[in-house]
Amino acid sequence: MMTLGRALLFGMDNLQILFSAPIFSLQLLIDGLLIGAIFALAAYGMALVWGVMKIINFAQGEFVILGGYMAFAFSRAGVHPFFSVPMSTVSLYIVGWLLHRLVIFRIVEEDLFISILATFGISILMQQLMNQVFTADVQTVDSGLSTWFLFDGNVTVLQIKVVSFATALVLGICLAVFMKKTRLGQTIRATAQNARAARIMGIDTDKVYCTTFALNAAICGACGALVLMTWVIQPFMGLAYTIRSFMIVIVAGIGNVAGVVLAGLGLGAAENFAGFILGAEFQAAFIFSLLVVILVWRNFALRLKRRYLY
């Protein structure tokens, strides 16, 4: 209670800063949106896997971190950090494909609880394997890009974050087009709608599941490489990305790429403002309170709709 009171006291002061010097609001907003794009990138695949395979992938964050380590290994081997993004994407596609062939195919049409348990197990296994191979040391790679200074240096925009933002948007658009226009995308959507009917129509749903899961891992691979260049990675940092992806997908709804982008950007901005005003310790608490509010509101809105139906 004491700490909350103190935080509110600090919070009022901090809020005042934002009003008296709006330039910092701009900084928080820009950074929040750029960070949010990276979260959205991590969440695309989760929405896809959830929608198509009815699996909540609790190893999502570990895929991101593994993508980061792949990029780290490639850049150690002399590859330019930017080229390590597609390379890590491809490696994670293979990892996702293998994981599906080994574990995931067994749990696709099982109870949701079993899939949570299985992917949770995979996440622990991946953490420990990464720890064994890459050690628990914090790793990072310099992208070689610098920073833009706006408004007399009061607002800084990291070029690598802009690159991540652009990558997230481009990948999002590609994904949406892929799902709409290509044959494979259509089979994925058909399987998501009704797997049994899709099978009757001659779609190899097993292949669809495999591709979907591998695709998810691949997108996480790209995300991880960008995280490596923007911040730092460590084998046990995955959970932060899993939780955020989970939240974004809940807010956006499954199978809604545009929604995922918007929810991701919103989450990033909200998190940054909460961190500034309330302090870093209430960042997560604020976000989760927000989630509850959104869910309650959605329930309320749905009920309103239902009333009109009758």
Partner 1 sequence: MLSKGKILIALVVAVAAVGLVVATTAVAKVEGDTIIFGAAVSFTGKYSTNGKHTKNGYDLAVKRLNEMGGVKVGDKTYKVEIKYYDDESTPARAGQLADRLIKQDGIKFILGPYGSGPTKGMAPITEKYKIPMVEGNGASRALFNKGYRYLFAVLTTSEQYLAESINLLAEEFKKQGRDPSTAKVAIAVENDPFSMDIRAGVIEDAKRYGMKVIIDDKLPKELTDMTATLTKVKALRPDALIVSGHSKGAALAVRQTAQMKVDVPMLALTHCEAADVVGKFGGDANYTLCATQWAPTMTYKDDWFGFAGDYAKRFEAEYGYVPPYQAAESTASVLVYVDALQRAGSFDTEKVRDAIAATKLETFYGWVDFDDTGKNIAKPMVLRQVQKGVYIPVAPSKFAAGQVIYPRPLWRDR
Choice between 82 and 236, CB closer to partner 1: 236
Q: Are 137 and 77 in contact (CB under 8 A)?
A: no
Left if phi > 0, otherwise alpha if psi is -120 to 50, otherwise beta: which for 78? left
Choice between 167 and 234, CB closer to partner 1: 234
The candidate with the shortest Cα–Cα distance to 264, out of 59, 66, 36, 95, is 36
Choice between 90 and 138, CB closer to partner 1: 138
* 225-244: contacts with partner 1 (CB under 8 A): 227, 231-232, 234-237, 239-241, 243
Q: Are 3 and 133 in contact (CB under 8 A)?
A: no
- Tell me the closest approach of the beta carbon of residue 230 to partner 1, in angstroms: 8
3-state secondary structure of 155: strand
* 5-24: contacts with partner 1 (CB under 8 A): 6, 10, 14, 17, 21, 24
224 binds partner 1 (CB under 8 A): no
Size of the site for partner 1 (CB under 8 A): 47
* 79-98: contacts with partner 1 (CB under 8 A): none
- Tell me the closest approach of the beta carbon of residue 98 to partner 1, in angstroms: 23
Binding residue for partner 1, selected from 87, 158, 226, 252, defined by CB under 8 A:
158
- For residue 278, how far is the Cα from the chain centroid? 24
Task: At 153, give phi and psi (nearest 5°).
Answer: 80, 0
What tokens appear for 225 in the block? 């490489």
* 125-144: contacts with partner 1 (CB under 8 A): 128, 131-132, 135-138, 140
* 25-54: contacts with partner 1 (CB under 8 A): 27-28, 31-32, 35
3-state secondary structure of 15: helix
- Tell me the closest approach of the beta carbon of residue 216 to partner 1, in angstroms: 20
Q: Are 263 and 248 in contact (CB under 8 A)?
A: yes
Q: Is the dihedral of CA 161, 130, 127, 86 positive or negative?
A: positive
Site string for partner 1, 278-297 (x = CB under 8 A): -xxx-xx-------------
